[in-house]
Amino acid sequence: MLPFRPPSVSIVDSAPWGSRGAIGAMIHELRDLLGNRDGIWQNEHTDSGTLGRRQRASVSSQALRSALSTGLSTEDERTTLTEFLRAGERRWTVPVTELDPIGSVGSMHFAVTKALMLIRLDRHPSTIRDTHVWAAGSVDDTPLAARDIRVRCYAPTGPATGHCVVLVPGHALPATASIDTIQALNASGHGVVALEHDWTPSAAPEDHLGLRLVRDVAAVLATAQAQYGSDRVHALGCSVGASVGVLGALLLAMQGRIQLQGPPLHPAVPAVLVSPWVGSDTDLVALGQSGTPRPGLPKQPAALRRPGLHATVAEAPQLLTRATQQVLLADLRVPVDLLSALTPTRMHILSHIAEGLRPIAPIHILQATRDPFHEPALVRGLAHALDASLHWVPERNHLLELSAATPPMVSRWLDPGAPAPEPTPTTEPDPTIHGAARDRSLRFALLAARSTQGATILPENAHDHIYLIVPGLFTERYPFYLREPCTRMSALGLEHAVVPVDTDQTVSRN
């Protein structure tokens, strides 16, 4: 575990219990623990695992229902939760957390939600401890405001290996959504340090939100290396935490672009990327930029909202229910335009990868075959560019931290004593897609995006032209028809190529 460090500045929380919706969520969680303990709320009077009629509502609707469930006053609920917390501390004979419950950590909401988790996992507070990491420094010569990063340290439950895994969650779920994976890693003997994002708007320009995430992840990794040793720390990132947080920290540290006021980060960190946020074709075309993040954008929006989840787990009602409960219990809110604010930094990182930058240590990628959040084909290109092993999970789900397939796969990949992983299954390119349309490499996508933006993508010494011959219906059926014009162009010294077209397929296929 990391050494205990209180926050540098104690700020009294104006809402120590969180929102009314969070209070209602804690009561629902407590009732489930006292009921059938199936992890699904409001089904204690039905069969275990049954979903309620309104469980598929949006997160905002569920938050409103949770808030209304408390009635006109939350006094009774707060009394019940306080008694539950005190009973737990009497049972454990120690406080639930070493951090000041009236400080800057979410106060009573923070303490009660941790107590609920300890009861569900049947663990003692001494095995799950909270502390802070001081994050200060710059990225790409951009100064960033120093701040405390709250982390939760999970001690091994199996024979200790002396290794540590730093967990960086995505934008839509808290770190506790990966609790099954954390438990599996602890059982394998690894300690886990889980970073908690703080999306609170600051005075920094909007684009700096991504650089701040890179700096924060680098600071936590460096602190873990100072405690465990630089060769005993691994990284596990989900979604935004994978592509911007983990990859950004490792690749920019390799180039000396991260300057930390504290222990330095040694970038040779093995990593697992779960559903890394790469983007889509449309995203790349609209925002395909390389170089440093764009300056001069407006300040990041102050408005916070609950993350939308339906688009990320479109066809998995059980997972959607679990994800919604995690968001409500954590009282999680994110900036309205969070992904837009992170995009320039993401594109900056992907540009370095497309130009040939490779991590030092092995990278593994876990990706759903039908990820509704972005195009898996681009993840295949990312894996190829990183020389990473890629494993496909046959699900329509972006939040793979909730999938049953994730814990055993991550544990196997991050086990330092395990043999090298076998070649992982992948999906072959669609044979009905012809020619250049098959080139879904990251470099091709970024070059196309830059070209659409009007950038010059050719080398400085490029001056020759190439003629592309695009067949129609007849010439595609009878390719010998093009033999004569191709012969004449060759005789004239004109470089040319025939574009493979399949007229039996749709326009989008071609």
CA distance 323 to 59: 9
Beta strand 363-368 with 389-393: parallel, antiparallel or unpaired? parallel
Domain extent at residue 93? 1-98+113-121+305-336
Using the structure block, give the residue that is written with the tokens 């560019």: 385
CA distance 168 to 193: 9
Q: Do the domain assignments include residue 106?
A: no
* Domain match, 423 and 447 both: yes
Q: What values do phi and psi take at 47, rounded to 5?
A: -65, 145
* Domain match, 187 and 256 both: yes
- Tokens coding 62: 């569920």
8 A C-beta contact, residue 156 and residue 186: yes
8 A C-beta contact, residue 313 and residue 403: no
CA distance 437 to 421: 31
CA angle 98, 172, 96 (to 5 degrees): 15
Q: Do the domain assignments include residue 210?
A: yes
* Domain match, 76 and 217 both: no
Q: Please enumerate in sequence order all residues whose Cβ is within 8 A of that of 83, keeping only pairs 6 or more positions apart, or say none.
A: none
Using the structure block, give the residue that is written with the tokens 């540290």: 253
* Domain match, 365 and 275 both: yes
* Domain match, 256 and 400 both: yes
* Domain match, 5 and 40 both: yes
8 A C-beta contact, residue 129 and residue 1: yes
Nearest Cα to Cα of residue 200 among 150, 261, 236 = 150
CA distance 471 to 448: 22
Per-residue pLDDT of the chain (510 residues; tens, 9 = 90+): 999 988 887 766 668 899 999 999 999 999 999 999 999 998 888 888 888 666 556 788 888 999 999 988 999 999 999 999 999 999 999 999 988 654 444 589 999 999 999 999 999 999 999 999 999 999 999 999 999 999 999 999 999 999 999 999 999 999 999 999 999 999 999 999 999 998 876 655 555 889 999 999 999 999 999 999 999 999 999 999 999 999 999 999 999 999 999 999 999 999 999 999 987 654 444 333 333 334 333 344 457 788 878 777 766 788 888 999 999 999 998 888 888 888 888 888 988 887 788 899 999 999 998 888 777 778 888 888 888 999 999 988 899 999 999 999 999 888 766 555 454 544 444 443 333 344 446 667 677 666 766 777 777 777 677 888 888 777 666 667 778 888 888 888 888 888 777 777 776 666
Q: Do the domain assignments include residue 362?
A: yes
DSSP H/E element including 145? strand 142-154
Return the pLDDT at 42. 87
**Where does a domain end: 459, 475, 501?**
459
8 A C-beta contact, residue 209 and residue 434: no
Return the pLDDT at 299. 43
Nearest Cα to Cα of residue 143 among 155, 151, 135 = 135
Using the structure block, give the residue that is written with the tokens 């009602």: 317
Return the pLDDT at 476. 64
CA distance 234 to 242: 13
Q: Please enumerate in sequence order all residues whose Cβ is within 8 A of that of 97, keeping only pairs 6 or more positions apart, or say none.
A: 105, 110, 111, 114, 125, 129, 130
Q: What values do phi and psi take at 205, rounded to 5?
A: -60, 155
Beta strand 271-274 with 363-368: parallel, antiparallel or unpaired? parallel
8 A C-beta contact, residue 265 and residue 258: yes
Domain count, the chain: 3
CA distance 232 to 414: 10
8 A C-beta contact, residue 17 and residue 108: yes
CA separation, residue 74 to residues 12, 106, 110, 218, 498 (Å): 20, 17, 17, 40, 72
Using the structure block, give the residue that is written with the tokens 């049947």: 122
Q: Please enumerate in sequence order all residues whose Cβ is within 8 A of that of 314, keeping only pairs 6 or more positions apart, or say none.
A: 372, 396, 397
* Domain match, 355 and 212 both: yes
CA distance 366 to 402: 13
pTM: 0.83
Return the pLDDT at 134. 96
Q: Do the domain assignments include residue 135?
A: yes
**Where does a domain end: 440, 459, 478?**
459
Q: What values do phi and psi take at 108, rounded to 5?
A: -65, -35
- Tokens coding 52: 């309620």
* Domain match, 315 and 167 both: no
Q: Do the domain assignments include residue 140?
A: yes
CA distance 21 to 470: 59
**Where does a domain end: 459, 483, 498?**
459
Q: Do the domain assignments include residue 105?
A: no
Supply the CATH number for residue 132's domain. Answer: 3.40.50.1820
* Domain match, 441 and 507 both: no
* Domain match, 231 and 376 both: yes
* Domain match, 499 and 448 both: no
Q: Do the domain assignments include residue 256?
A: yes
Radius of gyration of the chain (CA): 25
* Domain match, 79 and 222 both: no
* DSSP structural state of residue 6: -
Q: Do the domain assignments include residue 254?
A: yes
